[in-house]
Amino acid sequence: MGFQKHNKSVLVHLFILFIYVSSVFVSARVVQPLLQNYGKPIFRSNFHSIYDTSNYGVFHLSNGLALTPQMGWNSWNFFACNINETVIKETADALVSTGLAKLGYVYVNIDDCWSSVTRNLKGDLVPDRKTFPSGIKALADYVHGKGLKLGIYSDAGAFTCQVRPGSIFHENDDADLFASWGVDYLKYDNCYNLGIPPKKRYPPMRDALNETGRKIFYSICEWGVDDPALWAGTVGNSWRTTDDINDTWASMTTIADLNDRWAAYAGPGGWNDPDMLEVGNGGMTYQEYRGHFSIWALAKAPLLIGCDVRNMTAETFEILSNKEVIAINQDSLGVQGRKVQAAGIDGCSQVWAGPLSGNRLTVALWNRCSKVATITASWEALGLESGIHVSVRDLWQHKVLNGDAVSSFSARVDSHACELYIFTPSTTSYSAL
Question: Which residues contribute to the site for ligand NAG (CB under 6 A)?
Answer: 62-64, 79, 82, 84, 86-87, 210, 213, 215, 246, 248, 250-251, 254, 311, 313
Residue 320 CB contacts under 8 Å (≥ 6 apart), including other chains: 100, 105, 277, 279, 280, 293, 305, 312
Asked whether 351 and 323 are in contact (CB, 8 A), the reply is no
Q: 205 or 377: whose CB is closer to ligand NAG?
A: 205
Distance, CA of 296 to CA of 303 (rounded, Å):
7
Asked whether 341 and 377 are in contact (CB, 8 A), the reply is yes
Nearest distance, CB of residue 78 and ligand NAG, angstroms: 9
Q: 245 or 298: whose CB is closer to ligand NAG?
A: 245
Asked whether 235 and 271 are in contact (CB, 8 A), the reply is no
Q: 91 or 350: whose CB is closer to ligand NAG?
A: 91
Q: 41 or 135: whose CB is closer to ligand NAG?
A: 135
Residue 97 CB contacts under 8 Å (≥ 6 apart), including other chains: none
Nearest distance, CB of residue 215 and ligand NAG, angstroms: 5
Q: 84 or 285: whose CB is closer to ligand NAG?
A: 84
Nearest distance, CB of residue 90 and ligand NAG, angstroms: 8
Which residue in the list 111, 184, 189, 260 is annotated as catalytic? 189
Q: 183 or 365: whose CB is closer to ligand NAG?
A: 183
Q: 47 or 202: whose CB is closer to ligand NAG?
A: 202
Which residue in the list 52, 176, 244, 404 is annotated as catalytic? 244
Nearest distance, CB of residue 312 and ligand NAG, angstroms: 8
Q: Dihedral sign, CA of 184, 317, 286, 401?
A: positive
Nearest distance, CB of residue 188 and ligand NAG, angstroms: 15
Q: Dihedral sign, CA of 67, 71, 77, 82?
A: negative
Is 189 catalytic? The answer is yes
Q: 171 or 385: whose CB is closer to ligand NAG?
A: 171
Give the Cβ contact number of residue 244 at 10 Å: 14
Asked whether 178 and 213 are in contact (CB, 8 A), the reply is no
Nearest distance, CB of residue 76 and ligand NAG, angstroms: 12
Nearest distance, CB of residue 186 and ligand NAG, angstroms: 12
Nearest distance, CB of residue 210 and ligand NAG, angstroms: 4
Q: If we measure between CA atoms, which residue out of 270, 318, 274, 267 comes closest to residue 295?
A: 274
Which active-site residues does the annotation give? 189, 244
